[in-house]
Chains A and B, each alone.
Chain A
Amino acid sequence: EAQVTQNPRYLITVTGKKLTVTCSQNMNHEYMSWYRQDPGLGLRQIYYSMNVEVTDKGDVPEGYKVSRKEKRNFPLILESPSPNQTSLYFCASSVNTGELFFGEGSRLTVL
């Protein structure tokens, strides 16, 4: 089954404790991206990648890192999480100008 898989789905952590949210797709898509969704602010793109070893900043990259070492994986790294990074995070993938497929979302709370 074609899918985008994010883990963990739910996470509560504390300020400063490094964490990684994984994202994996099985559709051989070149394009992968991360978004955060906040009430009143809607969806905002954090980072995106057009292919292996190619990443670009979206609207809100501060406090986040990504890497694209393999085509199927695009992890989101929070080196030192802060409470303002409490949010609902989505990963998505597509062929470069094609339909975007989303993961189920990861709800992160930083205390």
Chain B
Amino acid sequence: KQEVTQIPAALSVPEGENLVLNCSFTDSAIYNLQWFRQDPGKGLTSLLLIQSSQREQTSGRLNASLDKSSGRSTLYIAASQPGDSATYLCAVKGSNYQLIWGAGTKLIIKP
């Protein structure tokens, strides 16, 4: 059964730093992996989607990589800003189309 783990559970860094969030999964038979952000009390906003055949995707200051063989994905945030403060979630869509979620990383960017 697929398991998705996100490390760290929480992270607090000063504004301007580059940072990396990690997502690992146990079954490499996946269709895709998607990163989301969630603000307190709000819904989920899609950040990046990486298909199983892709190695990375970029959007603005965000870059996500995927290494299926090692069961890992990273979300790189460049030049962090206070507005980046949120919970970041990764979700893996398996070969049965079921979606399995990580528990999230709560990110705080200090001004």
Footprint of B on A, CB under 8 Å?
31, 33, 35, 42-45, 48, 50, 56, 58-59, 90, 92, 96-105
Contacts and interface: CB of A to CB of B under 8 A. Distances in A.
The 9 closest A-B pairs by CB, nearest first: A43-B101, A99-B49, A42-B103, A97-B31, A102-B44, A104-B43, A105-B43, A102-B43, A45-B99
Main secondary structure of the interface of B (DSSP, over half): strand
Given A90-B43, A103-B43, A97 B98 contact: no
A31 B101 contact: no
Contact of A98 (B36, B49, B91, B96): B49
B101 A48 contact: no
A105 B34 CA distance: 19
A100 B34 contact: yes
Contacts of A31: 97
Nearest to A33: B99
B102 A42 contact: yes
15 contacts: A33-B99, A42-B89, A42-B104, A43-B91, A45-B98, A45-B100, A45-B101, A56-B97, A56-B98, A58-B99, A98-B32, A98-B49, A99-B34, A102-B46, A105-B42
A50 B49 contact: no
Contact of A97 (B44, B91, B93, B104): B93
Given A97-B93, A100-B91, A101-B46, A58 B98 contact: yes
A90 B101 CA distance: 13
